[in-house]
């Protein structure tokens, strides 16, 4: 409470010393500078357009933009699926031959190894590419958030949400840095392990390593889901409480300005409300632009991972139909790694979008 009165006293002193029209002019210059910084940030990350134009995109326009960005990424899984189906059919023909075309039994370990290695040769290059793109998207989003969040928090503080903006700044930057560092250090090793387990489990079916891949998938996905739920819940509670406190402090400041500033107190209070309203509009514009930017950065790799998973599902279904068990186990095991990468991207982007939306509505 003491801090609130100190801030209010500082505001009153500032208003009494400096005429408000000059202050409003300074605010206008500060707004233009902040908006230009956001526009420059959007340009650096190939979002295109200004903050106002990006925030004004409709849902259909966002989908069209995402489609254009993801179009070139969806050809690789389709081509891989066609090659996988050819491998499945060829393997099924060799199995049905009963040893006519191959000296080994269709159920031998050598035959299983040849089939699996053939499929791995087809799958590995695009699979490594999609993993690298997923990790690159995480680090790229982390870089965007590290620059965007301080700007958005500063605008929120200027609009009267000093406490809520500070809490948002600290929490989101910390969470983003944790996700990026964990992804850089552990995501690729985990995906590599799931890939190795999938290959070895399909070559040596008696070893049955599928349970380990499934366990890793469940641990990562459930862990991320629980962490995302708890974090967003905490941010929601924190921003809501601090937003109410900031709103009460702002109303108190307006009341004191109106009552204690001699002669022009009411006019100064109305001018302050006008400036604050313009800052609220700018805060909403910048927040919406940042949210759309993260969606445009993260959704294309998520769709690419989903397309690869669909190719794995279709290939595994075809392998089950033709009783090609090694290939079915291989594709199901590789799907676990794709699911892990997809869950990391989805949870990371959802945390930012939800928390930003909460802050946009918390400060009144």
The rounded distance, in Å, linking the Cα atoms of 201 and 191 is: 15
pTM higher than 0.85, yes or no?
no
**Considering the chain, what is the average pLDDT of its residues?**
78
CB 190 within 8 Å of CB 313: no
Q: Which regions of 103-228 does DSSP assign to beta strands (E)?
A: none
Task: Identify the CA nearest to 159 among candidates 69, 315, 54, 273.
Answer: 273
Segment 62-104, tens digit of pLDDT: 888 888 888 888 888 999 899 888 888 888 877 776 554 454 4
Angle ∠(187,190,192) on CA atoms, nearest 5: 110
Segment 262-299, tens digit of pLDDT: 544 555 555 556 666 677 778 888 888 889 899 999 99
The rounded distance, in Å, linking the Cα atoms of 272 and 262 is: 16
- Three-class SS state of 244: helix
CB 106 within 8 Å of CB 97: yes
Segment 303-330, tens digit of pLDDT: 999 999 999 999 999 988 888 888 888 8
- What is the per-residue pLDDT for 263? 47
CB 118 within 8 Å of CB 92: no
CB within 8 A of 219, min separation 6: which ones?
Answer: none
The rounded distance, in Å, linking the Cα atoms of 11 and 256 is: 10
- Count of Cβ atoms closer than 10 Å to residue 237 Cβ: 11
Confidence of residue 19 (pLDDT cuts 50, 70, 90): very low
């Amino acid at each position: 409470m003491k801090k609130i009165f100190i801030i209010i006293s500082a505001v009153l002193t500032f208003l009494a010393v400096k005429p408000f029209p000059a202050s409003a002019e300074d605010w206008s210059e500060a707004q233009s500078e902040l908006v230009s910084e956001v526009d420059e940030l959007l340009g650096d990350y190939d979002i295109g357009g200004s903050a106002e134009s990006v925030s004004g995109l409709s849902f259909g326009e966002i989908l069209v933009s995402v489609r254009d960005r993801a179009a070139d990424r969806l050809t690789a899984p389709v081509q891989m699926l066609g090659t996988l189906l050819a491998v499945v059919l060829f393997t099924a023909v060799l199995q049905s031959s009963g040893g006519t075309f191959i000296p080994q039994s269709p159920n031998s370990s050598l035959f299983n190894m040849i089939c699996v290695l053939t499929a791995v040769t087809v799958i590995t290059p695009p699979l490594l590419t999609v993993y690298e793109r997923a990790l690159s998207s995480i680090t790229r989003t982390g870089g965007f958030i590290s620059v965007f969040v301080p700007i958005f928090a500063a605008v929120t503080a200027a609009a009267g949400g000093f406490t809520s903006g500070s809490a948002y700044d600290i929490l989101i930057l910390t969470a983003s840095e944790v996700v990026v560092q964990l992804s850089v250090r552990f995501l690729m090793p985990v995906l590599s392990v799931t890939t190795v387990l999938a290959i070895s489990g399909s070559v040596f079916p008696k070893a049955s390593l599928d349970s380990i891949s499934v366990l890793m998938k469940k641990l990562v996905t459930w862990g991320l889901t629980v962490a995302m739920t708890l974090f967003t819940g905490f941010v929601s509670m924190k921003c809501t409480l601090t937003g109410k406190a900031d709103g009460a402090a702002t109303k108190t400041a307006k009341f004191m300005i109106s009552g204690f500033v001699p002669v022009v107190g009411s006019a100064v209070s109305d001018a302050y409300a006008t400036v604050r309203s313009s800052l609220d509009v700018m805060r909403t514009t910048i927040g919406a632009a940042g949210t759309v930017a993260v969606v445009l950065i993260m959704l294309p790799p998520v769709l690419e991972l989903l397309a690869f998973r669909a190719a794995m599902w279709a290939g595994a279904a075809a392998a089950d139909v033709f009783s090609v068990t090694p290939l079915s186990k291989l594709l199901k095991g590789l799907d676990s790694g794709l699911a892990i990468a997809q869950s990391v991207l989805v949870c990371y982007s959802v945390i930012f979008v939800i928390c930003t939306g909460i802050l946009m509505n918390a400060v009144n």
